[in-house]
Amino acid sequence: MALFPTKILVATDGSESAAPAVRAAAEVSAKTDSEIELVYVGEDISTPAAYNDPNSSDTEAAREARELLDDVAKEIEADGGKVVESHIVPGEKPAEEIVKLTREQDVGLVVVGSRGLGRLQYAVQGSVSSTVVREAECPVLVVHGA
């Protein structure tokens, strides 16, 4: 493994807790000349919609996800980062899909935000970031909101 990643996967859902992770990934990308791939995982997106099937009834959700990823890519590039690809992935378990994508895309670093769940919420819901940390086979940077 190289000291600096050549490919960074940034998971975003457009929330406030994802914004600091996006900024951190842009900074790492700019300083290490790493490429960024974005991913949005949504239970509201069906497989056909994720792949731009015009016959899908979920095209509105997929269109909104695409707009979100396009906006995030512009933000990253404005901060000096380099976005090379973005993925819209259907699924109810974001952490599993993120980990799967890290393996498929040979990712060197995953950057995710953290909502800062309380203990009760964490016990009931679990945490995407903690699952990614446990399951990913590459380093994971968890960025807490400021």
Q: What average pLDDT is seen over the chain?
A: 83
pLDDT band at residue 44 using 50, 70 and 90 as cut-offs = confident
Q: What percent of the chain has pLDDT over 90?
A: 55
Q: Say whether domain 7-144 belongs to CATH 3.40.50.720.
A: no
- Backbone φ, ψ for residue 74 (5° rounding): -65, -40
Domain spans in the chain, listed from the N-terminal domain onward: 7-144
Q: Do the beta carbons of residue 13 and residue 107 sit within 8 Å?
A: no
